[in-house]
Amino acid sequence: MSFTTINTSDSEVNYSESDIAQKFIFFNVLKDGRVHVLLPPTTNVPPSCNSTANVLTKDVNISASVSARIFLPSSASTAQKLPVLLYIHGGGFCMLSAFSEDYTRFVSHVAAEANVIGVSVEYGLFPTRPIPACYDDSWAALQWVAAHTKGEGPDSWINDYADLGRIFVAGDSTGGNISHTLLAKVGSIGLGYEGAKVEGMILVHPYFGEDDKMWMYMCPTNEGPKDPRMKPAVEDLARIGCDRVLVFLAENDRLYGAGKMYTEEFIKSGWKGKLEIMENKGKDHCFHVFNYLDLEAVAVRKRIASFIHNQG
């Protein structure tokens, strides 16, 4: 199935209510097949924009359809290799970008504060590339990182400074959903590279929801209301491919209930690792990215850093 996109900034946004076939929270589907994404396109910034003085940044192409922004602490040394944080941005599967100012700032701050190499994934978005492109692209990025284990991968920063035995996969909202799906796959088939290991998974206000009609529309090949990518299966939770998991829940988030259920089912699944939960009292969905000076956003970054370094 192919879709034609109308962006909010386009002059083509001249339809009426009677032209709408279906309404979803992030986009309208018109009767002529066009899709109007309700928020304007994200403005991307160069890699050096809004990064901290203590972090070097650059962009890389992973494949013809997947790219990433890499963040390297300026203090990095080949004598003390650093963990790698693969970060997957949010945006309802149809918006935002790893190359935006907000996500460049956020991952830059985490890389500096946690002393890790950040790899922020730019994956395909609906409607240009319907689901499962986001999952496939993020898996390709994880495989690309893992392929550096012998120091012969395509990126010199990862070859020289990364400890590939300490990979962390993280994401907020949609990115949390994608992170879960990646780790379920790792638990099922492995990473495929000797010496590469995912040590932990970090989900910030993850996007789950049984019978999510918007997600099923964006994914023409969906498996129905209980598709395990949106309604995590017990067997996937039981074999999540890492030893530690950290989940953030925001008290005022409309997705709070789904996230809470996820953690409860995780505990009941029989998974043998360690699950940590941090609740952001009085906060809304993904505030940590957009209100980065908020004291609770600072606490989120600190908790991510302490989790990565297993400091309790």
Side-chain half-sphere CA neighbours of 115 within 13 A: 8
Rg, C-alpha atoms of the chain: 19
**Of 97, 253, 269, 288, catalytic:** 253
List the helix and strand counts (H, then E) for the chain.
9, 12
Calculate the CA dihedral of residues 67, 149, 49, 39 and round it to 10 degrees: 40
Dig out the tokens for 87 from the structure.
Answer: 């970060």
- 236 in catalytic set: no
Strand pairing of 34-37 and 55-61?
A: unpaired
Measured CA to CA in angstroms, residue 204 lies from 14, 53, 135, 161, 284 at distances of 37, 25, 17, 26, 11
- 138 in catalytic set: no
Contacts of 233 (CB under 8 A, 6+ apart): 184
Largest CA distance in the chain: 64
DSSP letter for 25, please: S
Grouping H, G, I as helix, E, B as strand and the rest as coil, residue 120 is strand
- 51 in catalytic set: no
**Of 36, 148, 205, 285, catalytic:** 285
What is the residue type of 33? G
What is the residue type of 243? D
Strand pairing of 34-37 and 4-7?
A: parallel
**Of 108, 138, 173, 179, catalytic:** 173
Active-site amino acid positions: 173, 253, 285
